[in-house]
Amino acid sequence: MPPQYRRAAGIRVWIWGAVAVGVYLVAGSSTWPQIPTHLLYEGIAPPLPYRWVHPPANLPEPNQSPQTGQESITLGAAGSPSTSVVTGDGQAGVILRSGAIAPRPGARAVEVTITPLDPGTLSPPPARLQFDGNAYRVEATDATGGSVLLGAPITVVLRYPRHATMLLRSTGTGWTPLEAHVVPGSLQIFASTDQLGVFIAAAPEGATGISWIATVAVGAAIAGLLAALIAFAAGRRRRQTARPGA
């Protein structure tokens, strides 16, 4: 192949590689600013099997009971510090910013508890929605057992087993949708709330797909890898062609 054609081919390879990397960065940057400071867990390994309070009948693997989360949070002059409480299995957690729990006269600490619940014991989901995973009750009590109200919003993070797109908070007789964000790679959904209570992930009835952002990110990563392999192969061929007698 003449040198000018080899150079043109190499330029095309690197252009396509740059395009793939750019798409990947755009997909990542569009989701990263929405992710809270602390997630329940991170990593490239597949998530562990979901732990159900009441497992579905067609569950392929043996079910393990979900775990609770509980932590005593010390109150200072400005209330609670910035902290988080997570269940033992990492399926639910809350992130408290500084002052999320206001100082209480005579109280030095509050107990924050996260308890998994069977959705079948709660109000049915809103029309055209289905629950996706366990419900979780998040509550805070002082030393006397009295309920604690929030002084500032907190972030609730739930792991879902399939394809959640919404996070709901119980009203006692129904559900209120929260402005939620999904992290598809780790099967997590999170939202800010100014009230404690019962929370659950939900999806449209019959939903089976994943978000377009996840699809674009995975596709761009694969395209970038292929472009890098093509560039490596092209460079190797050029070096072999440049050798005497090649």
* CATH number of the domain encompassing residue 92: 2.60.220.50
Domain that holds residue 44: 39-53+66-204
Establish if 140 belongs to a structural domain.
yes
The pLDDT assigned to 65 comes to 96
Q: Are residues 81 and 154 in the same domain?
A: yes
Low-confidence ranges of the chain (pLDDT < 70): 1-45, 207-246
Q: Are residues 76 and 17 in the same domain?
A: no
Q: Are residues 119 and 226 in the same domain?
A: no
> Is residue 59 in some structural domain?
no
pLDDT in tens, 45-83: 677 899 999 999 888 889 999 999 999 999 988 889 999
Residue 160: beta bridge partners?
none
Predicted confidence at residue 78, as pLDDT, reads 87
Same-domain check for residues 124 and 157: yes
- Per residue in 157-176, pLDDT tens? 999 998 999 999 999 999 99
- Residue 79 domain flag: yes
The rounded Cα 95 to chain-centroid distance in angstroms is 13
Distance CA 49, CA 53 (A): 13
Contacts of 31 (CB under 8 A, 6+ apart): 181, 183, 213
